[in-house]
A = this chain, B = another copy of it.
C-alpha cells in the first residue's frame, strides 16, 4: 500500500524552498528564507529536514553541511546516490549508478561490513563552469 502520510506545513515549506533552489542550502539558509513564513528557530527547520531526509525526498550533503531536494525517483529504494558538487557555481548534480553501488557493496562484503548508508560526494568543476569560467 505504501500509505504515505501527507507532509505537514513546515515540511512542505522546507521542501518547497529546496526545490526552488538551484543549489544546496544549509539549514540556516532555509530558515532565513522562511522567516517571512513564520519560522523562527533552527529546530523547526531541522525537524522538517529529518523527516524529508528519512523519506528520501531530500538528501544531506555531508561535505557541505547542506541539503538538497532529491532529483530522482529511485532514492527511496536505492538508498544510495552520489553527488558531483561544483566548487564554482555551487550546484550539486545527483547521480545513480548501479555498477558503482555494486562495487561498493562487494567491497563491504569482502570486509564483512554491513553498510546501512553510503556517502559519495565528488567536488570539482562542472561542465558548465569549465566552458564559462565566470558564472
Contacts and interface: CB of A to CB of B under 8 A. Distances in A.
- Which of A63, A93, A117, A122 has the most B CB atoms < 10 Å from its CB? A122
Contacts of A107: 82, 95, 97, 100
Contact of A122 (B93, B117, B124, B125): B117
Chain A, interface residues (CB within 8 Å), range: 20 to 34
Interface in A56-110: 62-63, 82, 84, 86-87, 93, 95, 97, 99-100, 103-104, 107-108
A48 interface: no
A112 interface: yes
Given A100-B104, A100-B107, A115 B62 contact: no
A108 B127 contact: no
A43 interface: no
Nearest to A86: B113
9 contacts: A84-B108, A97-B103, A99-B103, A100-B104, A104-B120, A115-B122, A115-B123, A117-B122, A118-B121
Task: Please list the 4 inter-chain residue pairs (A to B) with the smallest Cβ-Cβ separation, ordered nearest first.
Answer: A112-B127, A115-B124, A115-B122, A62-B62
Given A97-B107, A99-B103, A113-B126, 10 more contacts: A62-B63, A84-B111, A87-B116, A100-B103, A108-B122, A108-B124, A115-B124, A116-B124, A119-B119, A119-B123
